[in-house]
Structure 1
Amino acid sequence: MSARVLVVDDIPANVKLLEAKLGAEYFDVITATNGIDALAICERGEADIVLLDVMMPGMNGFEVCRRLKHSATTAHIPVVIVTALDQPSDRLKGLDAGADDFLTKPIDDTALFARVRSLVRLKSVTDELRQRALASRQLGIADPLAAAAAETGLNGRVLLIEDRPLIAERLTQALSAFHSIETETDAQAALARAAEGDFEIVLVSLDLQNYDGLRLCSQLRSLERTRNLSVLLLGEAEDKSRVLRGLEIGAHDFLVRPIDRNELLARARTLVRRKRFAERLRDSVQSSMEMAVMDQLTGLHNRRYLDSRLSALFDESALRARALSLLVLDVDRFKVVNDSWGHDAGDEVLREFADRIRACTRGIDLVARMGGEEIVVVLPDTALEAARAVAERIRERVEGEAFQIQRGQRAITVTVSIGVASRRAGDAGPVEMMKRADEAVYRAKAAGRNRVIVASAA
């Protein structure tokens, strides 16, 4: 997988070296010699991943990383800090700034390429979600990127898979100060728990006595119910080749023993933050999709969805020679409700009206708000007489019990007029059927309201 890699270093020789190595692996390399230029490049969306030196004049790498990770525009870009600093405190400082990894010079080429490819894969998963989430702003949803960038990564739900009791106890003690952690010693049982539980991170030991930790990692990444979990591998220093193999399989991060407590906490927090970032984007996309087809007041489908779905149901009915009926419902004297009790009361009536209609219809029926106080119910596989029975049931349900308004302080009587029509053999499309149902509603209104009128079947 190729990617645009931004190399940030103020020493030309270092830049040239990384540029040559990454270019040989077919990465597209862009460069910057200071933090200001690096931030500008990232703000313009020109980088897929950043390799960032720490020791730079003006603004050091830790500050650049911190600014990238606290900006809604750039928080999703993976950052690998590349430096000659090799103390645990330096590594921790980089992770606390939000870095996704920390590589020490001289850089091992295999580790570099494995880490870059792994992080680019993770970024590609969120990029499309990001674009769709951005569109949700136009629908009035709170900015999902700002909310995601503000995530702390604390109070994560962690599953530790380790069959050595002493090691498991030490890791649990370290993590439990900031996260909720559960331990499992059996790999197969752990796989089931991961699928059934509500975990955010899974820590997998590569040294399990009776199971291959890499195979377990592969299974976690391949199963639908666990593939979105963040996987952190724990291995020995001599397990380097297996750790890198784990990154290729799909693990998100790794630690080698002896494990520094602070680094463990920092990496866990980064993984939790990254997972929640993706979840917020998915939730935003789901919300925007629902807003595109749902009426926000009643929770019913909206006119847009009705128009597209009704055409499909009509065509299917004609193709299979199956019955299809349609009800148009209009609340009687709804303007009087608004004028007498206010629009808030009118909204309460419409929400309850929608609930009563839902209670009288099936899961396969399409119930949509056309606008105002008018609702349409489409009844697949339902002939005219059966549709009239449904309409009558709804009418009785609406009339039979007073509607609560003003938060239960008052109750008013509400009735509904309903027009019923079915598909005819000569209908070219659903428009004719809808027109007959509309005309039937007008006749019901003219005849005194609170009644069902059925359009002629012929």
Structure 2
Amino acid sequence: MSARILVVDDILANRRLMQAKLEAKYYSVLLAENGPHALEVAHSSAPEIILLDVMMPGMDGYEVCRQLKASPETAHIPVVMLTALSETADRVRGLDAGADDFLTKPVDDFALMSRLNALLRYNAVTNELRQREASGVKIGAFSEDEASTLNRPVNVLVVDTSPYNIKRLRDPLEQAGHRVFTLDQADGLKQSGNEKLDVVLLGMSNQGYDPLRLCAHLRTNDATRALSIIVTVDERDVDLAGRALELGASDVIQQPLAVEELLARIRTQTRRSRYVEILRNRVDRGLELSVIDQLTGLYNRRYMNNQLSLWMKRSSMGGTPLSVVSVDIDHFKKVNDVYGHEAGDRVLKEFAERIMANVRPKDIVCRPGGEEFLVIMPETGGDLACSAAERIRRAIAAETFDGGTRSASALEVTVSAGVATFLGDEDTIADMMRRADDALYKAKSAGRNQVKSLAA
């Protein structure tokens, strides 16, 4: 897949060489010659990936990365640091600054393209989620719960046939507060309650199985698709690591490993996967907010109209009956006027709970507004709908409501209900709702606390 990549390097020859490599693979390339220029281009052009040189005069790559990650507009852009420095401390410093990866110059073409492909797969998920969220609730700072999700200890599964390698990985991770499991201990994770696996550390070199096949399986299996997979390889197996990245591995650690780099890469990959999880949850919450009444938890008017239209079409095509019950709390205004809106809200919540306890699972209970409620009853004729409405009426009147204060601790609440049935192809939502409202008005006029239906 193609992408827009920003190359940041203070040496013109390096920029041109990297530009030629990337354009040969059909990437669109942006160039920046120093740190301030890189920040300007990143904000104005929104590249998908940034290849950032570390050793630059003035503002070095570490500071550029920190500023990119500190800005809400650019924090989501993956940063790959490129440098001639090869010490572990330099890699860890880059990862701590927020870099997503670290490549040593001269950059191996195969390793570079493999890393870019891995980051583009990550971008494909996060960009879609960010766009969906931006269409509803704007992306903001992490809430307290979301921050705790990002920073909670990590559950790591180590897959390696070498007991020596397992010990070298387990000891520093457990000392850092993380939980480590091996294949023979995986059941312990299932028994730990609501905890789930975060990272798989997958040994690639000198294994008694095909690690590439296992890597591919983890990425294609629904239960493990979202896991961060970090592969560990000997220095001589760079090509093997590249193939693992192409198959979906998230990151690579070369053996012999450095503890600081191991912990930094675990932290980076876990925060990335949890960031995706947070975005998904935000999108789900946004979708829920669009159809759910926040006070009662029932469906709102938008969802009501959508579902009513859908069930009317099904009823028309299949010849099955369809009814609606319009329910209104009697004298609800007095509750608000005498006992206050807080008591009124408590009554509405308990009212919704009683309705839900007295309908079938396939019935759709909605609150279009105020003290008005509507129950859509698929595959239900008028007589059955009237019986169901009567059951709801009795459940509401059977016990008093608690308004939350001493004076409102035992409120007598009743309801009136009107029933209407679907009349066929020529019937419309407006007509059906009008008949239900007319039946409800008939019940109110007859003295309230009763159910009425209206013939066509």
- The interval holding the TM-score normalised by the smaller chain is over 0.9
Match of 2:100 in 1: 100
Deviation at 1:163, TM superposition (A): 2.9
Match of 2:13 in 1: 13
Alignment length (residue pairs): 454
Cα deviation digits, residues 28-87 of structure 1 (max 9, x gap): 111001111211222235311011011112211001111212222212111010011111
Deviation at 1:235, TM superposition (A): 1.3
Deviation at 1:112, TM superposition (A): 1.1
Q: Distance in 2 between matches of 1:208 and 1:238?
A: 11
Which letter does structure 1 place at the counterpart of 2:22? Answer: L
Report percent identity of matched pairs: 46
SS of 1:420's equivalent in the other structure is: strand
Match of 1:2 in 2: 2
Q: Distance in 1 between matches of 2:394 and 2:150?
A: 53
Of 263, 277, 290, which residue of structure 2 is paired with 1:279? 277
Match of 1:452 in 2: 451
Q: Distance in 2 between matches of 1:151 and 1:77?
A: 21
Q: Distance in 1 between matches of 2:331 and 2:103?
A: 72
1:27-426 matches, within 5 Å, as: 27-137=27-137, 143=141, 153-185=151-183, 198-207=196-205, 209-406=207-404, 410-425=409-424
Q: Distance in 2 between matches of 1:407 and 1:228?
A: 48
Change (3 A) 1:183 1:390: same
More deviation, 209-218/19-28: 209-218
Which letter does structure 1 place at the counterpart of 2:418? Answer: G
- Provide TM-score, normalisation by structure 1: 0.93
Change (3 A) 1:108 1:425: closer
Q: How well do the aligned residues superpose, as a CA RMSD in angstroms? A: 2.5
Which letter does structure 2 place at the counterpart of 1:437? Answer: A
Match of 1:25 in 2: 25
Change (3 A) 1:146 1:253: farther
Cα deviation digits, residues 138-193 of structure 1 (max 9, x gap): 6xx86569997997545122222223223212211111233432322469989999
- Provide TM-score, normalisation by structure 2: 0.94
Cα deviation digits, residues 285-324 of structure 1 (max 9, x gap): 0011001111111101100111111011001001111010
Q: Distance in 1 between matches of 2:144 and 2:35?
A: 22
Q: Does structure 2 retain, via aligned residues, the 8 Å contact 1:187–1:211? A: no
Deviation at 1:365, TM superposition (A): 1.1
Q: Which ranges of structure 1 fall in alignment gaps of 5 or more residues?
A: none
SS of 2:410's equivalent in the other structure is: strand
Cα deviation digits, residues 392-424 of structure 1 (max 9, x gap): 110011000111112687121111000011111
1:420-435 matches, within 5 Å, as: 420-425=419-424, 427-435=426-434
Q: Distance in 1 between matches of 2:151 and 2:44?
A: 26
Change (3 A) 1:147 1:116: farther
SS of 1:385's equivalent in the other structure is: helix
Q: Distance in 1 between matches of 2:188 and 2:6?
A: 39
